[in-house]
Amino acid sequence: MRISQQLQVGTANCVESRLSATGEKARSSLDGPLSPRPHAVSIGLHLGAHSSREGIAMICRLVAGLFLLVVANVSAFAQGLPAPSYWKNQRGSEMKISAIDVRGNFVGAYINHAAGFQCQNTPYDLRGRAFRGHIVFVVVWTNSVADCKSKTVWRGRVIGPTILTRWVLTGAGFKPLRGTDIFYQQP
């Protein structure tokens, strides 16, 4: 059953329980215009019905909220990348993933500490996408401190607390550089 169908069924159940709480029964197509309605029950329960209707509406909202929370967490799990999370690679560079959405798009910061490269020791914006264990992320090496006129794209796989990647560094005035990085999740 698709999520939208489940929501519809959930809503239908809530409507049904609201009717029964007020002493009304759901009218079917077999009910004629003169079908008796349980007025006495409805009037007798009027005061109590009001508060119980609010209670049921609140429960419905809570259930819907919980449902969305579960769906969001299942999606995050499918992406395989926890957020927030903190990673370091074998060159000592740091990567912070601050947030990820249900589509797997994430943002964070990258601090380059790799020997032999420029743009070191200050944070650069990072953005990327993770889905079903695959990951792609990009850093454009420009911030308020330095502009290296270059960009790195990493592509790879998230395997539990490890991210295995291949990267390409491109920029003005040099041929693309390629390499591999392994990121280890930090506490």
Return residues touching ligand BTN (CB under 6 A): 89, 91, 93, 112, 114, 117-119, 141, 148, 150, 152, 167, 169, 171, 181
User: Please, which residues have CB within 8 angstroms of residue 134's CB and are 6 or more apart in sequence?
Assistant: 155, 156, 157, 158
Q: Which value, in Å, is the radius of gyration of the alpha carbons in the chain?
A: 28
> Is 182 exposed, middle or buried (CB count within 10 Å of its CB: 0-12, 13-18, 19+)?
middle
Give which of 149, 140, 85 is closest to 112, Cα–Cα: 140
Nearest residue (CB) to ligand BTN, 37 versus 178? 178
Give the nearest distance from C-beta 143 to ligand BTN in angstroms.
Answer: 11
When the beta carbons of 49 and 158 are compared against ligand BTN, the nearer one is 158
In whole angstroms, the minimum distance from the beta carbon of 155 to ligand BTN comes to 12
DSSP code of residue 114: -
CB of 101 to ligand BTN, least distance (A): 25
184 beta partners: 88, 162
The DSSP element (H or E) to which 63 belongs, if any, is: helix 46-79
Least Cβ distance, residue 132 to ligand BTN (angstroms): 24
- Closer by beta carbon to ligand BTN, 52 or else 185: 185
Residue closest to ligand BTN, measured at CB: 93
Nearest residue to 91 via CA among 123, 120, 48? 120
Give the nearer residue to ligand BTN in terms of CB position, either 35 or 180: 180
Instruction: Tabulate helix, strand, coil % of the chain (nearest 5).
Output: 30, 40, 30
Query: Which CB sits closer to ligand BTN, 22 or 165?
Result: 165
Q: How far is the CB of 87 from ligand BTN (least distance, A)?
A: 11
